């Protein structure tokens, strides 16, 4: 594989179809008060000073990439990075609600410690089966996965032969990597891309290569 993230000529010649979609998955920077273990979901409380630094470093790293398309979750903690990167690249950002983080409903804004007392039974149910359990007023991890993967599948033909940057959250990144590599989503919490990091997928008819995972600029 070449340095620009494309399959080399010999590999392409051996492939049934040599069309490749290069997908860069960027995770937003660290949020404020992360040490309190606040349930975030789709709630936005802004990036911490560390998170802003992570965002700046990742934008600087990606500003020189050969990007043809830039799509982003419309939640503020992703939108800020997307707008900054789009300005550097000279590309208009496409805001996609389907790339939002999992909705955790009425739990959002409370700490897990609080919920273990105030909503103990449903909290236990969630951690016993986070894939299928819906937080009150929210959506299950499976529902989020289907939302993200459904949008990706609908857009797949338009992703071929170009590099597309996704600015999104850890949940959608886990969902897309699991789908690409054939991993059961029940194992998705084993995937932990860092805040302010990039993950690169090379997708083709022959399968998907996970070329970079959770890499921070440095």
Q: Residue 197 domain-assigned? A: yes
Q: Which domain holds residue 149?
A: 17-32+47-104+140-215
Per-residue model confidence as pLDDT tens digits over 116-146: 999 999 999 999 999 999 999 999 999 999 9
Q: Residue 147 domain-assigned? A: yes
What CATH number is associated with residue 79? 3.40.50.1240
Q: What is the mean pLDDT of residues 156-172?
A: 97
Chain center to CA of 10: 31
Q: Residue 10: pLDDT above 90? A: no
Q: Residue 175 domain-assigned? A: yes
Distance CA 96, CA 72 (A): 6
Q: Residue 218: pLDDT above 60? A: yes
The whole model's pTM is what?
A: 0.90
Q: Residue 135 domain-assigned? A: no
Q: What is the mean pLDDT of residues 33-52?
A: 88
Domains contained in the chain, number: 1
Distance CA 14, CA 16 (A): 7
Distance CA 25, CA 80 (A): 15
Q: Residue 122 domain-assigned? A: no
Q: Residue 205 domain-assigned? A: yes
Q: Residue 74: pLDDT above 50? A: yes
Q: What is the pLDDT of residue 163?
A: 98
Distance CA 39, CA 124 (A): 15
Q: Residue 110 domain-assigned? A: no
Q: Residue 9 domain-assigned? A: no
């Amino acid at each position: 594989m070449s340095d620009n993230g494309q399959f080399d000529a010999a590999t392409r010649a051996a492939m049934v179809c040599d069309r490749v979609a290069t997908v860069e998955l960027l995770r937003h920077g660290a949020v404020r008060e992360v040490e309190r273990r606040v349930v975030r979901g789709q709630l936005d409380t802004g990036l911490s000073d560390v998170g802003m630094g992570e965002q700046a470093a990742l934008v600087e790293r990606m500003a020189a990439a050969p990007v043809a398309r830039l799509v982003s979750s419309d939640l503020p903690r992703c939108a800020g990075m997307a707008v900054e990167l789009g300005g550097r690249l000279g590309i208009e950002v496409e805001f996609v609600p389907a790339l939002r983080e999992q909705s955790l409903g009425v739990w959002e804004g409370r700490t897990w410690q609080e919920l273990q007392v105030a909503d103990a039974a449903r909290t236990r149910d969630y951690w016993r089966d986070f894939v299928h359990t819906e937080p009150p007023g929210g959506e299950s991890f499976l529902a989020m996965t289907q939302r993200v993967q459904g949008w990706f599948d609908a857009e797949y033909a338009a992703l071929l032969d170009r590099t597309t940057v996704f600015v999104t959250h850890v949940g959608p990144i886990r969902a897309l990597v699991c789908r690409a590599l054939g991993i059961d989503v029940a194992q998705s919490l084993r995937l932990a891309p860092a805040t302010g990091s990039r993950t690169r997928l090379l997708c083709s008819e022959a399968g998907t290569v996970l070329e970079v995972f959770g890499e921070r600029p440095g």
